[in-house]
Chains A and B, each alone.
Chain A
Amino acid sequence: IAGITQAPTSQILAAGRRMTLRCTQDMRHNAMYWYRQDLGLGLRLIHYSNTAGTTGKGEVPDGYSVSRANTDDFPLTLASAVPSQTSVYFCASSDRTSGSNEQFFGPGTRLTVL
C-alpha cells in the first residue's frame, strides 16, 4: 500500500441497505477525514478523527457513523442508505504535527443509492 486507499471503487446500493466504505492509510497520519462531494458543491466534511480512538462530527454527519480503532483504518458506515446519500465519498488523512497539515486524499468511492 502506498498512501491512502479506499474500497470499493464504486457501488450501487438499494435504499435501506447497510454499507461500509473502507479507508486505509500507511503514512502513519494521526488525523483522518470523510468527505462527500456533490456536483456544484464544495467538499463537505462528514466525520473526522484527530487521533486513534477519537472521532468527531463534521458538517453533514446524519445517517453516517465512523470508528477509529487504530491509526491506519477509518471506515464509514451508512446504517440504512437513502437516495440522498448518492455521492462521491473521499477519505483523507493528514499529519497534524506538520506545519501546513495538508490533507492527502484517497481515490474516492462512487456510491449510488436507488
Chain B
Amino acid sequence: GQNIDQPTEMTATEGAIVQINCTYQTSGFNGLFWYQQHAGEAPTFLSYNVLDGLEEKGRFSSFLSRSKGYSYLLLKELQMKDSASYLCAVRDSNYQLIWGAGTKLIIKP
C-alpha cells in the first residue's frame, strides 16, 4: 500500500529552527510537495522537490532523498504566524497526490 508518515504534532520556540520529517512509500515517485495549512483555512503550496537535495526559499527549505524515501521541511527564525499544520504529499505513478495526515506545529513565545 501507499503510505506517508509524518509526526502528528511538534512544538518549537519563536525565533528557533524546526525540522519536520516525512517518510514515504508509494507506487512510483513524481515529486514531493509541502503545503502549509492554518486552522480553518485551505492548504497553500510551500515547496516542490523532484531531485535529491535541498531547495531553499527564504526562511523555508525542503530536502529530498529519493533512495531513502525521506524528506524534511526546515523552518528558520520561527514566527508566531508559522503556527499551522504542514502537509507532506507525494505524486505517485498515476500522477495523483498521496497526502500525509499533517504535522501540527505549535510555536511558543
A4 CB to closest chain B CB (Å) equals 9
What is the CA–CA distance of A90 and B44 in the complex, to the nearest angstrom? 12
| Residue A97 CB within 8 A of the other chain | no
A-B contact count (CB 8 A): 42
Structural contact, A42 and B31, CB atoms closer than 8 A: no
Name the contact of A103 in the complex, choosing from B45, B50, B100, B102 (C-beta under 8 A).
B45
Structural contact, B48 and A102, CB atoms closer than 8 A: yes
What is the CA–CA distance of A58 and B61 in the complex, to the nearest angstrom? 30
Structural contact, B45 and A90, CB atoms closer than 8 A: no
B14-59, CB < 8 A from A: 31, 33, 41-45, 48, 50
Structural contact, A106 and B42, CB atoms closer than 8 A: yes
Whether A90 touches B99, Cβ cut-off 8 Å, given contacts A42-B87, A102-B33, A102-B48, is no
B30 CB to closest chain A CB (Å) equals 9
Which residue among B4, B87, B99 has the maximum number of chain A CB atoms within 10 Å of its CB?
A: B99
Chain B interface mostly helix, strand, loop or mixed? strand
Structural contact, A104 and B45, CB atoms closer than 8 A: yes
Structural contact, B99 and A42, CB atoms closer than 8 A: yes
- Which residues of chain B are near A53, meaning CB under 8 Å? none
| Residue A100 CB within 8 A of the other chain | yes
B106 CB to closest chain A CB (Å) equals 17
Name the contact of A42 in the complex, choosing from B4, B42, B48 (C-beta under 8 A).
B4
What is the CA–CA distance of A44 and B89 in the complex, to the nearest angstrom? 11
Known pairs A45-B97, A100-B48 / 6 extra A-B pairs, C-beta < 8 Å: A42-B99, A42-B101, A43-B97, A101-B91, A105-B42, A106-B42
